[in-house]
Amino acid sequence: MKQIEGGITSVAGVKAAGIHAGIKKTETKDLAIITTDAPANAAGVFTKNSVTAAPVVVCREHLSVPMAQAIVVNSGNANACTGDTGMKNAYRMAALTAEQLDIDADLVLVSSTGVIGQQLPMDKIENGIQIAVDSLGKNKNGTDAAEAIMTTDTYPKSIAVEFEIDGKAVRIGGIAKGSGMVAPNMATMLSFLTTDVKINSQTLQFALTRVVDNTYNLLTVDTDRSTNDTVLILATGNADNTEIVETKGKSYDIFYEALLSVCTELVKMLARDGEGATKLVEVVVKGAKNRADAEKAARAVAESPLVKTAVFANDANWGRIMMAIGKSGAEFDPYQVDVHLGDYLLVKNGMDSGYDEDKATRLFDNDTVQININLRAGESEITMWTCDYSYDYIRINADYRT
């Protein structure tokens, strides 16, 4: 498998556009459209927040028949907590896009991100959709779409890979956004994926759900779960592989691992670009009694404000890590726990290992910090991704609507 250029538009049969429609106060791009040349098999995973944005409702409804030919996305406005008007506007976004593309509205998936509780400026949306459809293309436009879905992100997240199934070249491309309100079970996190792999919709949904559980659902910035979380994938079937119809076997395994790799890289980008972040933090928990306990322990460390601020300060305050593991609810013996910073031992059998403070400080002073925890209570292992908390996290969120 190799990385290639082009993001979502590296996949044959996919076009995209990203433009400024005037939804945001700034002059940045704020509306994107992704299309396929023909209806594609589609799958989606969405927020578990009971306060659910209108576009999520529309997507779930349209995916009752798992086919799609377009995704329309706006940033700057979440269209959440907007009542009947918000629902009508979400359906209207699908209808306007379908009209411009001359396709059925049920084949259009809708997504929004931004401020909650405000109605969409539908005059700007309507004009923007027309401009975006007129701008549909390839190459650069994949990057334009990645830029158009951003809110407080500082850079667009995009990746594409090429690999082989049945000796045939196939591709997966993806973009994502998410900087704050990011927690396990996704967040103000949007990700849109495309592939030319021949795969039926049921198998595609199974693979996507499993990948999300092992990537996006193990990402946390600030513990807050959004109203708009969405991951969508469109499979054009333009590749020459034999169609994947089962959730086992060599072809499925190759596709799953490639999709997992793409989403893992996007998750790392999202964590590294958390609001105010200066470091990507990987929390690896090994030796847990079961997966649930591994996730409890990893989540407690990854979400601890005390751990995250210590990482920002390059402070090897391992007591905060032990505290977080202890409050997690995972079963373990504290005097069996080892904690490494990368491969450097900080904690041995739940106590100070006699580490060198200056060396630990230098290891924390990197743009990627890995905290490795061995509970010695079983065989399960998990990795979560997060970031540090800096002074800018407060500034960004205090100023979000101003």
Residue 84: burial class (beta carbons within 10 Å; 0-12, 13-18, 19+)? exposed
DSSP 150: -
Q: Where does residue 33 fall: left (phi above 0), alpha (psi -120 to 50 degrees), or beta otherwise?
A: beta
Give the torsion through C-alpha atoms of 218, 220, 225, 229, to 10 deg: -60
Question: Is 383 assigned a catalytic role?
Answer: no
**What separation, in Å, do the N-terminal and C-terminal C-alpha atoms of the chain show?**
45
The C-alpha atoms of residue 322 and residue 343 are separated, in whole angstroms, by 17
The C-alpha atoms of residue 256 and residue 163 are separated, in whole angstroms, by 12
The C-alpha atoms of residue 400 and residue 222 are separated, in whole angstroms, by 15
82 touches 274 (CB < 8 A): no
292 touches 402 (CB < 8 A): no
Side-chain-side CA neighbours of residue 366 (13 Å): 14
β-partners of residue 165 are: 168
The C-alpha atoms of residue 233 and residue 68 are separated, in whole angstroms, by 9
- The tokens describing 41, both together, are 């098999």
- The tokens describing 146, both together, are 């990645």
Active-site residue (options: 47, 188, 194, 383): 188
The C-alpha atoms of residue 393 and residue 307 are separated, in whole angstroms, by 15
Query: Among all residues, which ones are annotated catalytic?
Result: 188
